[in-house]
Amino acid sequence: MLKVINLKKVFTNEKMFGKGKTEVIAVAGVSFEVKDGTIMAIVGESGSGKTTIARCLAGIEIPDEGEIIFNNEPLMFDTKEKRAAVQYVFQDTFGSLNPRMKIGDIIAEPIGFHFNKTGNELRLGVIACLESVGLKTEIENKYPHELSGGQRQRVVIARALAMRPSLLIADEPVSSLDVSVQAQILSLFQKLNKENKISIVFITHDLRLVKSLADDIIVLKDGKIEEQGSVENVFCKPKSAYTKLLLSSIPGNPQK
Amino acid sequence: MNKMIMTGAIAAVLLILSAIAAPLLTSYDYKTQDISIRLSSPDTKHIFGTDELGRDVFSRMLYGARISMTVGIIAVLISALIGILLGSVAGYFGGLIDNIIMRFVDIMLTIPTLFLILMLIVFLGPSIINVMIIIGLTSWTDIARLIRAEVMSVKKLAYVDAAKLIGLRKRTIIFKHIMPNILGPIFVYMTFGISGAILTESGLSFLGLGVQPPYPSWGNILTAGKDYIHTAWWMVFYPGLAIFIAVFSYNILGEGLRDYFNPRLKKENK
Amino acid sequence: MSVIEIKALSVDYKLGQKQLLHALKSVNLAIGAGEALAIVGESGCGKSTLASSLVNLLALNSISSGTVLIDNKNILEMTNKELESVRGVKAGTIFQDPAASLNPVFSVKEQIEETIMAHLKIKDKSKLKEMAIKLLEETGIKEAQRVYESYPHQLSGGQQQRVMIAIALSCSPKILIADEPTTALDVTVQAQIIELLKRLKKERNLSLILITHDLHLALDLCKRVIVMYAGEIVEDTIMQNKEASAHPYTRALFEIIPDINENKREFAVIPGEVPDLKMVMNECYFKNRCHKVGEKCGKAHPEMVNGVRCFYPYTKERVKS
């Protein structure tokens, strides 16, 4: 359903005085494919370009080179349907919710915009959305700062689901959460994948999450793919030395 | 609501109300002279005493409040209008436009404001209107910088990205997601700005370059009183007190608003 | 002989009017010389408060009672001047975010030498430099000379944390407190820092206190694990794997981190969230999230018995040592 061909992204910092220009190659030619209804994990350390790829897939960032094919046509966001199809879950649960809006209004905004619902119909939509991510409906009258990190991340997921996407990009969605809450959110992603048939691109630095979660994996380093394949193959028979290093760095791994 | 906002707001509203209701609160006209009772100390008839021309200080103060408050508020509105416009344009679009606006701000900041104001007044002549416009035109740089920084930081936040991901129009994003989140600093700046403008106006009038007699302002009542400070203390005490109360109440109102608009602080107070 | 002895330590935080958050509830703990101990729990369990009270760095709105003895002196009753002879000298501390703990306007040289000068009263410049370089080399920094002259922003996250460790060790403390020292770092760097701490502990015979939310990481470095929940110690055991633990919470903490050597497609979940620390209840605080709950759990608050605070603990597997 999603095909990425030779994706490149370079960030330039122009200095105000003088001619100095610094270029940072964030993504240096990356190609991969996400099959319908699967979870793809993109793993890498800081500076590997994984967030940039995610932002390009969601249309927040525009790639410099390469093609992104989504459902057999170039990825564009020119209609409401196309915009709704690809949604994004942020790492920072606090920053991704407008602090001045109540949870109910945050969820209502995309439903109202995409499905032209108002009044009672809109409210029912909001409630259904909150329930689908395991939140109680009382929460709709609260503000983001009144919620815990886990609850906020569920709200962010609910807002994305409100648009009924077929592809969900999740950028380190659990790394700012407590260990016990991480597992809850990961189970939620699994449920969405299985029950709602949503394909997921899951960005993370934590290899431990990937084994139970994803079907396929990409290991990134310095904007390039070090290794890619099915999770089983990469975990059991890693080919690249870097993947081996990553695996042996996992705390509590007896392999080292 | 916190106590600072309440106290500041009550004091500020009382000042504005008493300025509006001036004719109801006093039976004396602010410019009627009566030399026979000049410099009489406060009593039941003239509760703040009379000045060197026998005018009632209380009525002059009330009408002076009208002028001081109007100057303060209009001057701030002028500076906020310019500042918000230039600041948000610079912050939202960035690049060359930002560079041009901000360099202009830098140039403005290199000129000492007080000298600029004094110079302009000398050229344009002292009058209430000129004082308002000149204070407004010379004090927008701070708010422009503030708004630019706010817009730039809010623009980068994930919830603005989230709004783009919904597909919302630019206008909706700016007015629903960016503006409400910088409204706090704007209000805070404006309340501080009013107290600053009142002080500047008082200073100018004290120097004889602001509001001209016979119109009263707190500054020029103070000027008239300074010659009689040893014999008629009420002529400097009351206008001085009024300036103090006005500036103080707008300042604590501003401080209170600043805390109120900080959602993180609000969370901790709970 | 214990280096640190904590007796009946309680810490409350004042929240607004009349509300108290009970961050630590009567904690007892003794740490021996050369012992490596991990304090594990979710956030809001009191592990960071416990760490801060060890060097009396508690927030201003806190009220503490009980004693924290370091070399038989009560830290909680010390004046600021007396505390100076403890912080850094007897106990060094490293924190989660090295970038935030290093002062960006001073070079590494100035920051290390400042600590040595303040505590050891050494003024000789060449001697100071020699000591600083030696410390940096000891923490595994390859280009010690270059790092010595650098400013924090010129270093990578791993190097910054090594510099923090060098500063913490500059006065040769016998105790090292590491508060989530690798959370902000990449996995590969994390593994290196853990190896470094392991080596330093051995070479310097340090008493190491590691605060972490990651039980697997804790076991890589420490034999003894203290598990905290809702401001209390719920388990204090020498363990090397899940089977050696007894408290249902400890076991749950093991299970929620997926094991990459297993082929499981689902995540173990601890339902719900950490309880409200404002309440004091006469029941087990873990009751509502526990899968091994029995009738006693709601009726009384469990006491520590054999290193476990639970009415229905698992049987520990024997530890061979």
Residues of C within 8 A of A208 (CB-CB) are 257-260
Residues of B within 8 A of A99 (CB-CB) are 159, 181, 263
| pLDDT above 70 coverage of chain C, percent | 99
**Residues A130 and A107 sit within 8 Å (Cβ to Cβ):** yes
Using a CB–CB cutoff of 8 Å, tell me whether B112 touches chain A: no
Residues of A within 8 A of B167 (CB-CB) are 77, 80, 83-84, 113-114
pLDDT at A14 over 80: no
Total Cβ atoms within 10 A of residue C267: 21
pLDDT at C10 over 60: yes
Please name which of C135, C210, C133, C199 lies closest in space to residue C172, comparing C-alpha atoms: C135
State the pLDDT at residue C112: 92
Q: How far is B150 from chain A (nearest CA, A)?
A: 15
Burial (0-12, 13-18, 19+ Cβ within 10 Å), A83: buried
Average pLDDT over residues A193-211: 93
Q: What is the pLDDT of residues A142-183, one digit of tens each?
A: 999 899 889 999 999 999 999 999 999 999 999 888 888 898
Q: How far is A179 from chain B (nearest CA, A)?
A: 23
- Whether residue A16 and residue B99 make contact (CB cut-off 8 A), yes or no, is yes
Chains that touch B (3 or more CB pairs under 8 A): A
Confidence of residue C321 (pLDDT cuts 50, 70, 90): very low
Contacts of B103 (CB under 8 A, 6+ apart): none
Nearest-angstrom CA–CA distance, C220 and C204:
18
Q: What is the pLDDT of residues B216-252, one digit of tens each?
A: 888 888 888 888 888 888 888 988 898 898 889 988 8
Nearest-angstrom CA–CA distance, C230 and C278:
10
Backbone angles phi, psi at C295, to 5 degrees: -70, -30
Nearest-angstrom CA–CA distance, C95 and C78:
23
* Long-range contacts from C60-63, C-beta under 8 angstroms, 24+ separation: C61/C13, C61/C14, C61/C15, C62/C11, C62/C12, C62/C13, C62/C14, C62/C23, C63/C11, C63/C12, C63/C13, C63/C14, C63/C20
Could you give the 3-state DSSP secondary structure of residue B159?
A: helix
Using a CB–CB cutoff of 8 Å, tell me whether B106 touches chain A: no
Hey, which residues 8-47 in chain C have their CB within 8 Å of chain A? 42-44
Q: What is the pLDDT of residues C138-155, one digit of tens each?
A: 999 988 999 999 999 999
Which one of A80, A92, A110 has the shortest CB-CB distance to B158?
A92
Q: How far is A250 from chain C (nearest CA, A)?
A: 7
Which one of A183, A190, A205 has the shortest CB-CB distance to C268?
A183
Residue A251's closest chain C neighbor by CA?
A: C217
Confidence of residue B43 (pLDDT cuts 50, 70, 90): confident
Nearest-angstrom CA–CA distance, B194 and C7:
57
Q: Which amino acid is at C316?
A: K
Which one of B157, B164, B180 has the shortest CB-CB distance to A95?
B157
Which one of B162, B167, B180 has the shortest CB-CB distance to A96?
B162
Q: What is the pLDDT of residues C56-102, one digit of tens each?
A: 888 888 899 999 999 888 988 888 888 888 888 889 999 888 888 89
Please name which of B165, B184, B246, B200 lies closest in space to residue B78, comparing C-alpha atoms: B200
Contacts of B230 (CB under 8 A, 6+ apart): none
**Residues B102 and B90 sit within 8 Å (Cβ to Cβ):** yes
Chains that touch A (3 or more CB pairs under 8 A): B, C
Using a CB–CB cutoff of 8 Å, tell me whether B161 touches chain A: yes
Using a CB–CB cutoff of 8 Å, tell me whether A241 touches chain C: no
Contacts of B77 (CB under 8 A, 6+ apart): B136
Average pLDDT over residues A198-224: 93
Q: Measured in Å, how far apart are chain A's first and last C-alpha atoms?
A: 37
Which single residue is written with the structure tokens 């016990």? A180
- Whether residue A98 and residue B164 make contact (CB cut-off 8 A), yes or no, is no
Using a CB–CB cutoff of 8 Å, tell me whether B158 touches chain A: yes
Q: How far is C288 from chain A (nearest CA, A)?
A: 14
pLDDT at A255 over 60: no
Q: Comparing B206-215, C26-35, C280-289, which segment has the lowest mean pLDDT?
A: B206-215
pTM (whole model) above 0.95? no
Q: What is the pLDDT of residues C251-301, one digit of tens each?
A: 999 888 888 777 777 888 888 888 888 888 889 999 999 988 999 999 999
C19-32 β-sheet, strand order: C19-32, C2-15, C62-70, C73-74
Nearest-angstrom CA–CA distance, B152 and A100:
18
Nearest-angstrom CA–CA distance, C4 and C175:
9
**Pairs of CB atoms within 8 A across A/C:** 93
Average pLDDT over residues A101-106: 94
Using a CB–CB cutoff of 8 Å, tell me whether B265 touches chain A: no
**Best of B159, B160, B169 to mutate (most A CBs within 10 Å, chain A):** B159
Q: What is the pLDDT of residues C225-251, one digit of tens each?
A: 999 999 999 999 998 888 889 999 999
- Whether residue A113 and residue B167 make contact (CB cut-off 8 A), yes or no, is yes
Residue B269's H or E segment, with its range, is: helix B263-269
Burial (0-12, 13-18, 19+ Cβ within 10 Å), C215: buried
- Whether residue C157 and residue A181 make contact (CB cut-off 8 A), yes or no, is no
| Tally of CA atoms within 13 A in the half-sphere of C121 that contains its CB | 2
Q: How far is A59 from chain B (nearest CA, A)?
A: 8
Contacts of A218 (CB under 8 A, 6+ apart): A30, A32, A40, A41, A42, A43, A225, A227, A228
- Whether residue A178 and residue C186 make contact (CB cut-off 8 A), yes or no, is no
Using a CB–CB cutoff of 8 Å, tell me whether C193 touches chain A: no
Average pLDDT over residues B193-205: 86
- Whether residue A96 and residue B263 make contact (CB cut-off 8 A), yes or no, is no
Using a CB–CB cutoff of 8 Å, tell me whether B166 touches chain A: yes
Nearest-angstrom CA–CA distance, A51 and B35:
81
Please name which of C184, C174, C245, C244 lies closest in space to residue C213, comparing C-alpha atoms: C184
Could you give the 3-state DSSP secondary structure of residue C281?
A: coil
Which one of C186, C258, C271 has the shortest CB-CB distance to A208?
C258
Residue A243's closest chain C neighbor by CA?
A: C188
State the pLDDT at residue A18: 54
How many residues comprise chain A?
256
Confidence of residue A189 (pLDDT cuts 50, 70, 90): very high
pLDDT at B267 over 90: no
pLDDT at B270 over 60: no
Contacts of A211 (CB under 8 A, 6+ apart): A231, A235, C258, C260, C262
**Residues B170 and B88 sit within 8 Å (Cβ to Cβ):** no
